[in-house]
A and B are shown apart, each in its own frame.
Chain A
Amino acid sequence: MNRTPLRKTLFVLFLSLALLPLASAQATGGLISSQEALALERSGSVEQVQAWLQRDEVAAELTALGVDPALAQARVSALSPEEVDAMLHRIDEMPAGAGVIEVLGITFLVLIILDFIGVINIFGR
Chain B
Amino acid sequence: MKQTRPGPQLAVPAFLLLGLVLAGCAGTGPGAREALAPFDQPRLLESVAFFPQTELHCGPAALATVLDDSGLSIDYPALVERVYLPGRGGTLQVELVAAARSLNRIPWVLPPDIHAVLDEVAAGRPVLVLENQGLRTRPFWHYAVVIGFEPDRREIIQHSGTHAYLAQPMRRWLRDWNLAGRWALVTLPPDQLPLAPDRERWLQTLADFEAVAEPAAALSAWQTASRRWPEMPLAWLGQGNSHYRLGDTTAAIAAFEQALVLDPEQPAAAFNLGWLLLEAGEPCAAAARFEPLIGHPGLGQRAEDAWTLARGDCRD
Contacts and interface: CB of A to CB of B under 8 A. Distances in A.
Interface stretch (B43-51, B111-119, B137-145, B190-198): B137-145
A97 B279 contact: no
Contacts of B86: 65-67
Binding site of B, secondary structure by majority: helix, strand, loop or mixed?
Answer: helix
Contacts of A8: 281, 283, 313
B91 A97 contact: yes
Contact of B6 (A18, A66, A96, A117): A117
B134 A94 contact: no
B298 A40 contact: yes
Given A26-B210, A37-B268, A97 B90 contact: yes
Most-contacted residue by chain A among B133, B139, B208, B302 (CB, 10 A): B208
Contact of A11 (B8, B222, B244, B312): B312
A58 to B, nearest CB: 10
A29 to B, nearest CB: 7
A33 B88 contact: no
Nearest to B272: A31
A35 B135 contact: no
Instruction: Give the residue among A67, A94, A99 with the most B Cβ atoms within 10 A.
Output: A99
B281 A83 contact: no
A77 interface: yes
B126 interface: no
Contact of A19 (B267, B302, B313): B302
Interface string A50-65: 0000000000001011
A89 interface: no
7 contacts: A11-B313, A28-B245, A78-B99, A99-B53, A99-B56, A99-B160, A118-B8
Interface of A: 4-5, 7-8, 11-12, 15, 18-19, 22, 24-41, 44-46, 62, 64-68, 71, 74-75, 77-81, 83, 86-87, 91, 94-102, 105, 108-109, 112-113, 116-118, 123
